[in-house]
Amino acid sequence: MSVSIDGYLIDVFISEQPVKSGQVTRYPIEDGASIADHVIEAPERLTVTGIVSNNPIGQLYSKRFEIAQGATGVLPSNEAYARLAKIKKEYKLVTVIGSSRTFDNMLLVSLTDPRSASTGDALEFTATFEQITTVNIQTKDKFTQVKLPRHKENRNKGAKPAKQVAPAVQPKAVTSAKSSRGSSMAVKLARLAL
């Protein structure tokens, strides 16, 4: 199986080191509680050490030539490093196809390019990737209207004018039935008021 990073074929991965880890709470857990509620799952990390030679052979040579669309003059080791550096600079999510499995949504977080006499012109690199979890948020074009039951609110409608109350009629004391002409009327009103 060919190993690749973002579709670019790598001669060989000398080592692949996937790491799955989690962070456990540092506080005591209640007896009988679910342990899963107290662990935060960390993103998967993948560290690969690979080699890209300037003299690929066989099937790798023809595939790499097809990917480059026949471009000549660029050494495969320089092209590979330029691609890796671009992926790192642009924070591009890539797919890494390893020798045993495929890693999707990987972000290149570290890239080293040690040079030594033993590697010559070939590119020997170590790249560390971290998996990014993405979610899709879907929105609808139309909103659904829901009618909720309303209750009457006691609203303050401001100050209201006071109701006018007719003044109470006070009966006048009558001293004599013959005092005046209107006095008989006053007596009748006094009786009605009682």
pLDDT tens digit sequence for 17-36: 999 998 888 888 788 777 77
- Which positions ≥6 away from 174 have C-beta within 8 Å? 183, 186, 187, 190
pLDDT reported for residue 132: 93
Alpha carbons 8 and 46: distance in angstroms, whole number: 17
CATH number of 3-26+36-131: 2.30.110
Global pTM value: 0.62
pLDDT reported for residue 151: 61
Taking alpha carbons only, the member of 72, 116, 82 closest to residue 5 is: 82
First to last CA, the chain: 115
**Number of neighbours of residue 126 by Cβ within 10 angstroms:** 16
Domain definitions of the chain by residue range? 3-26+36-131
**Low-confidence stretches of the chain (pLDDT beneath 70):** 1, 61, 64-73, 140-158, 161-162, 164-194
pLDDT reported for residue 35: 76
Alpha carbons 68 and 71: distance in angstroms, whole number: 6
**Number of neighbours of residue 143 by Cβ within 10 angstroms:** 7
